[in-house]
Structure formats: C-alpha cells, structure tokens
Structure 1
Amino acid sequence: MVTTMTNVDVLQQAYDFGEIVTSSEIFHKYIDAKRSLTVNNEAQLLIKEFTVIKEKYEEVQRFGKYHPDFSKVTKDVREMKRKVDTHPVVVDFKKTEDDLHQLLVEVSQIIANAVSSQIKVPTGNPFFDTATSCSGGCGSGGSCGCK
C-alpha cells in the first residue's frame, strides 16, 4: 500500500482525536473507577470467588440438568453474580464503563455519518443498530425504508 500525505493526515487526526477522548472527564472517571476496583480487596475477593464458581458452573453445564450438582451450582453462581454486581465499587465501575462506551458509540456514529449515512456502526443496542439502517432480510417488503 502506498502511503500518501492524506493517509498520514487522517492517521494524525485520529491520534489527536484519541487524545481528546482520553483527556475527557468521562475517561478520567472510568480510569478512577477501574483503579478503585483494582485496589478494593473486598471486590477482588468477590470476583475471585465468582470466577471459581463460574468454572464449576461451566463444568456442570456440559451435562446440564443431569449433573448431580446442577441445581446447587446454578443457584450458587446466580447468588455470587448478584453479590458481585451489587457491590458499590463494581456498580460504579460498570456505570463509568457504560458512560465511556456510550461516548465512543456517539463519536463513532458522528464519524460514520460524516462519511456516509449508509455506514453501519455497532452500538451494542439492537434498537439503534436497526433503527439507523436495515441489515437486509427484514421481510417487510421494503416498508422499513431499506433498499
């Protein structure tokens, strides 16, 4: 591939834009929440316990309801996941992670729409993925507006 000044300019602008995102308040909140999660001993212990139970769960899933410990392990993994998901540090981390994800999705959509309205941007939300464009095979005979 031949590198032109246009390609170099686009790459430089992308790096500059990355620096803008990493200097944003949302990004700094995410980094702080991640650091808090990493240093919180209680949260880390819960995560380790959940990982152990999850491995047992995956082993039990191989046999499904026929495994002798199926009910117990399934219950244990749900309870442990609830404990992890409701821990305040984990809740804060997940919220900041979602905020950063939303920022990156919005930025991606703006960039894609600046190039063409036909470019699809995976948002992680099926409603928005299908609302902005049709992926084909909708079965509505074109009534959704796709071509």
Structure 2
Amino acid sequence: MLYKEIHIGKFIKERVDESEITVERICKFLGRDENAVEKMYNSKSIDTDLLLRWSKLLEYDFFRLYSSHLILYAPPAAVNKNQQKSDKIPYFRKNIYTQEIKEFIMKRILSGEMTQSEVIKEYSIPKSTLHRWLQKSDNMNG
C-alpha cells in the first residue's frame, strides 16, 4: 500500500533513478558526500530541511506522501469547543483530497481490491464524497 508505510529513502532513490541525476550533482546540491547520500537512500525517514532540498532538486513534493498518509490513515480531528485555532501556524483542512488520493482509492475499488463500504470504513471518506468520485469516473468512462 503506497501511503501506509513510507520509506522515504526508497522513494527518493526511485525518483533519482527516474530523473537520471548524477551522484556528483546530488552531492554538490546537498553538500554531502556519496556515502551520506547512500545512507539517505536506506533511511526510513530524514530531516525535513533535507527532504525540502531533495524535493527542490528532484522537482517532486515528497511531503505529499506524508499528507496523503494523514488523509488516509489519521483519525478525524476530535471536535473540541474549548480548543482554539492558533493564528501562528497555518491551519489545513483534513478533508481536501489530492488527485493522487482519489486515483489511489478509485483504483482499489475498480480493481475489486476493496468494496465501497470497506473504503468508507478504512479511510473515513464520507459516503457522499465517494459516490461523487464514482459518478465522475462513470461520466468520464461512459
């Protein structure tokens, strides 16, 4: 499952291979030696500043993998009337689904890997939202 277990080093290595960027360019851009880069490929997680640099170098938003994980696997935020939103950090709504998430879910349903009910239960996607995606899919394919 693409978003359940994230091994960021493997994703980075895959993108490096696709991009065909030389190890020399990578080392120069990151300010690290070849050994350090290899260690990053084998790391399940890396520092966010370093991940930002990889995202820029490889022109790919690696943070989206984590956002997708949160959308699919984090429980919905508990509603607490005493809880105040902070003006100091940005607030993002959980129910904004990226195109990648929609495609991931639709593929699981259309392939028969999961039923609509299983998707609703597993990922806490509202039934009406899922039906809207299915209708759009039918309209595009029909």
Same fold (TM over 0.5): no
| Structure with greater Cα Rg | 1
Q: TM-score range by the shorter chain?
A: under 0.3
- More helix, by proportion: 1
Higher relative contact order (CA 8 A, sep 6+): 2
Q: Normalised by the size of structure 2, how large is the TM-score? A: 0.28
Q: Normalised by the size of structure 1, how large is the TM-score? A: 0.27
